[in-house]
Structure formats: structure tokens, C-alpha cells
Amino acid sequence: MPPTLPLSRSRAEQFDDLVLDAVEDLERRWERELAGVEFAVEDVPWVDHSSPDEVVLDSDVLDDGSVPLARVLPAHREDGQDHPARIVVYRRPLEIRAADREDLADLVRDVVVDQVAVLLGRDPEEIDPT
């Protein structure tokens, strides 16, 4: 029987792992505050400007007007259903900005910390003092 190659993970799966690592660490520290918050990864941001109900937060727009790296969607009620708060991290804009895998891991962590800070109304340094 020929030797088997180790299973390789796609870039998207590796990115998901980076987000999961950052989220798990923060959930240990902020368990009560993050209970019920959903975290998601999307490849790129998509904004429907034609929707009058669209929620746009300051955290959606970068200072230089470039593509957002992540987004906070507050908890809301729609069509009689409660929707939990959600933090969406955008993979491709972060990958483009990172020099290497280590830089990407640091950038992902910083972005997740910043978005949790926005959601909780706290300073990023308070969310993650490191």
C-alpha cells in the first residue's frame, strides 16, 4: 500500500482556525458577555445599499475608506424572530494585508478583539490587555 499524504487544509480552513483560536481565547475571558454572540467568516464584505433597513456602524468603515476587515451586526428582532449579535470577519481583505502566516494570525486576533470591543462598548486594551 502506498504511503498516504497528510491531509492538507485549505487556506480558508486555516483562516477559520485562526479566527476560532482568537474567539475561544476571548470567550474564556468574557464568557458571560459573549454568550449567544455568533462569530462568522466570509470571504469578502457585501453591502446592499438599496436596503433601507441596513445597519451601518462606524466599525464597518476604515479610516482610509478601504474595504472593511470585519463587521459587528447588533442583536435585533426581525419578523418576530430574535437574531443574536454577530461578528463577521472577512478573510480575503485580511489575507491581502498580511505579510505571512504569523502576521495574519496577529491581524486576525487584533480584528476580533477590536470587534468584540465595539460590540461590548469597551476599549480593545480592556478586552485583551496583551
pLDDT tens string 48-65: 555 444 444 444 445 455
Partners of 78 in beta bridges:
81
Pairing of strands 86-90, 38-42: parallel
Q: What is the mean pLDDT of the chain?
A: 86
* Residues 79-94 pLDDT 10s: 999 999 999 999 999 9
- Give the number of C-alpha atoms closer than 13 A to the C-alpha of residue 98, restricted to the C-beta side: 20
Residue 3: inside a domain: no
Residue 4 lies in a domain: no
Task: Indicate the number of domains in the chain.
Answer: 1
Would you state the pLDDT for residue 57?
44
Residues of the chain with pLDDT under 50: 51-61, 63
> What is the domain extent for residue 83?
11-127
pTM: 0.81
